[in-house]
Amino acid sequence: MRSLRLAILVGAGLWTLGLLAAWAVLLTLNHRVFMSVAVVHAYPHSLGVLAIGSMLVGFAMVRAGLKPLNEIRRRLADVQSGRARQVLGEYPSEVQPLVRDLNGLLAHQEQAVSRAVAKAGDLAHGLKTPLAVLSQEAERAAGRGQPELAAAIGEQVERMRRQIEYHLAHARAAASGATPGLHCPVRPSAEGLARTLRRLHADRGLAIALDVPAELAVRCPREDLDEMLGNLLDNACKWARGRIRLSAEPAGGDVALVVDDDGPGLAPAMRAAVLQRGVRADEAAPGSGFGLAIVGEIAAVYGGAIALETSPLGGLRARLTLPSA
């Protein structure tokens, strides 16, 4: 029965009819009232069967009538968890318009997010040319025997580049956090980053081990997972003496991504500080101080978090948790 209203009305009517029949039979059999109703007195068992049957059928019809509402709730949970982008399925005529409007709202929101991300990308692209010009000026200054000026320009260019990347990543993450249907397997991202970093640090002979089950997936786009894992692995490569390990495991409704290294580690008093923008553990070391801050802020957009601990390998352990998809 495709009408929710009709299914509930018929089911409730049958339930009421059965309840009245059962009540009449019970009172008649107890010789209290209805003694003059011959049909009830003559066929109490038949009426009893009719009462029970009507109540059971009525209950089943009401339950079946409400089933589409439970299905919508399940589909909405799929959207919220990232397993679907819209509410799928066909529903009774009373509910279908609501589902259509809801899907329209989800589609409109997704388009608005895509436009915002595109504008942020255009802004970042537009700033590339001025930065490239400044880099060339730094090279010319170095060629004219002005290494201090070249270094100062180069440092500021690098800081501007990282600022752009930071805010672009944050804008993309904020937009993606409102997008339903996000689902990203962890292992392909981890394997791709590990291959890249092994090539970049081939001269140091770093060993990057992975322990990431294939079935694990997180609720964020691949670009943002690459950004977060890439920053954590890059930071580990910067400080490691020879060993890095990336592991992943379920953690309740989340996925825990753990990056260990065998470097010098980080004092507990500094761990909260390096998660702030522009703070570096060692001012003499290369870097802008935005890497871990980017990880923390992107993770927060998706309901995740980052924590720094002491690694069993002897160095730093970065534990990133993200909602499971």
Please name the residue that has the structure tokens 């066929």: 43
Mean pLDDT of 295-301: 83
pLDDT at 247: 93
- Provide the H-helix boundaries in the chain: 4-29, 38-42, 44-81, 96-143, 147-177, 186-200, 222-239, 268-271, 291-301
**Distance between CA 217 and CA 293 in Å, rounded?**
23
Query: Which two structure tokens, joined as six digits, stand for 246?
Result: 């990336």
pLDDT in tens, 176-227: 655 666 788 999 999 999 988 888 888 888 889 999 998 899 988 888 888 8
Burial class (CB in 10 A: 0-12, 13-18, 19+), 233: buried
Distance between alpha carbon 20 and the CA centroid of its chain, in Å?
Answer: 52
Mean pLDDT of 141-159: 82
Strands 217-218 and 184-185, by their bridges, are: antiparallel
Q: Is 177 helix (H, G, I), strand (E, B) or coil?
A: helix
**Distance between CA 235 and CA 316 in Å, rounded?**
10
Confidence class of residue 284 from pLDDT cuts 50, 70 and 90? very low
Concatenating the DSSP letter of every residue in 185-229 gives: EHHHHHHHHHHHHHHHTGGGT-EEEEE--TT-EESS-HHHHHHHH
Percentage, residues of the chain above pLDDT 90: 14
Query: Which two structure tokens, joined as six digits, stand for 128?
Result: 């590339």
Cβ contact 16:61 at 8 Å:
no
pTM: 0.56
Q: Between 284 and 124, where is the model more confident?
A: 124
Long-range contacts of 115-119 (CB under 8 A, 24+ apart): 116/171, 116/175, 117/171, 117/172, 117/175, 117/176
Q: Is 246 helix (H, G, I), strand (E, B) or coil?
A: strand
Query: Which two structure tokens, joined as six digits, stand for 53?
Result: 């049957």
Q: Is 144 helix (H, G, I), strand (E, B) or coil?
A: coil
Sequence length of the chain is 325
pLDDT in tens, 152-174: 888 888 778 777 777 777 676 66
pLDDT at 261: 92
pLDDT in tens, 11-28: 778 888 877 777 777 766
